[in-house]
């Protein structure tokens, strides 16, 4: 069993490292791609678009599927949207794990406003501090948001809607009760739209970046338990001869 773990917009693999390490510790093969333009300098992210991040996520899935009979896809925030798309477009995906996923269309007025900023020649805008309840936690994320890249994400969330109903595998959705980046209603929307069975977990002590926050151990534990159950229910590998 393998697991692809995907970070969010403006973040890096460090955002999901505790989750990935827990899965590795449980004996699973794990791919944690650094999405194009992420984890270096915000200037590197400026020319990238959702299509670039999707291509990297799908390639990570292909690499893992080449060496594992069954693959689970997992993601936080935008990584959750990417994971949903993988589960929808690759029906052989064994299961889906989402932590505070982006899943609903963005308010068109907001997308229009950001588009006007881009048309006016603005390239980036300041980003807020990482949304963490734990004062000792730190997410190495960009301090600016590339605007054209953000518009591409908004459009991708619109395009994601028909994919939601195509997700037929088991789904684990973990949602922070307080999230100042992605409305918890996104998790409700995802859970209501997918075709597969859904398990919900509410995270009461964490904000958006729950993979690094007070509930990071709970996120890791629940994910490992979920993947283990999926692996136990998977049909055994068949050999030749």
pLDDT bin (cut points 50, 70, 90) of residue 234 is confident
| Per-domain boundaries in the chain | 2-233
CA 131 to chain centre: 16
By percentage, how much of the chain surpasses pLDDT 90?
93
Residues in a beta bridge with 124? 146
Reference 45, options 78, 91, 17, 4; nearest CA is: 78
Reference 167, options 128, 201, 193; nearest CA is: 193
pLDDT bin (cut points 50, 70, 90) of residue 237 is low
Q: State yes or no: pLDDT of 239 exceeds 70.
A: no
Over the stretch 111-159, which tens digit does the pLDDT of each residue have?
999 999 999 999 999 998 999 999 999 998 999 999 999 999 999 999 9
Catalytic residues, by residue number, are 77, 179, 208
Q: Mean pLDDT over all residues of the chain?
A: 95
Q: What is the dihedral of CA 33, 39, 44, 49, to 10 degrees?
A: 50
Q: How many CB atoms lie within 10 A of CB 7?
A: 31
Fold classified for 2-233? Rossmann fold (3.40.50)
Q: Is 80 helix (H, G, I), strand (E, B) or coil?
A: helix
Over the stretch 50-82, which tens digit does the pLDDT of each residue have?
999 999 999 999 999 999 999 999 999 999 999
What's the rounded mean pLDDT across residues 171-185?
98
Q: What is the DSSP letter of 174?
A: E
Q: How many CB atoms lie within 10 A of CB 94?
A: 21
């Amino acid at each position: 069993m393998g697991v692809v773990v995907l970070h969010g917009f403006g973040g890096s693999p460090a955002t999901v490292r505790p989750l990935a390490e827990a899965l590795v510790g449980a004996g699973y093969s794990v791919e944690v791609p650094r999405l194009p333009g992420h984890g270096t300098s915000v200037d590197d992210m400026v020319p990238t678009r959702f299509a670039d991040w999707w291509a990297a996520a799908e390639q990570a899935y292909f690499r893992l599927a080449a060496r594992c009979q069954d693959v689970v896809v997992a993601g936080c925030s935008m990584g959750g949207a990417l994971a949903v798309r993988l589960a929808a477009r690759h029906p052989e995906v064994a299961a889906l794990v989402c932590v505070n996923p982006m899943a609903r269309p963005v308010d068109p007025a907001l997308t229009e406003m950001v588009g006007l900023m881009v048309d006016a020649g603005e390239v980036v805008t300041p980003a807020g501090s990482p949304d963490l309840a734990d004062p000792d936690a730190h997410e190495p994320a960009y301090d600016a948001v590339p605007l054209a890249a953000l518009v591409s994400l908004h459009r991708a969330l619109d395009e994601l809607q028909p994919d939601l109903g195509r997700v037929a595998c088991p789904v684990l959705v973990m949602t922070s009760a307080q999230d100042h980046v992605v409305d918890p209603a996104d998790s409700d929307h995802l859970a209501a739209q997918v075709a597969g069975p859904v398990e919900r977990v509410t995270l009461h002590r964490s904000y958006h970046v729950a993979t690094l926050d007070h509930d990071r151990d709970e996120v890791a534990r629940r994910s490992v338990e979920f993947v283990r159950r999926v692996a136990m229910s998977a049909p055994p590998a068949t050999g030749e001869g």
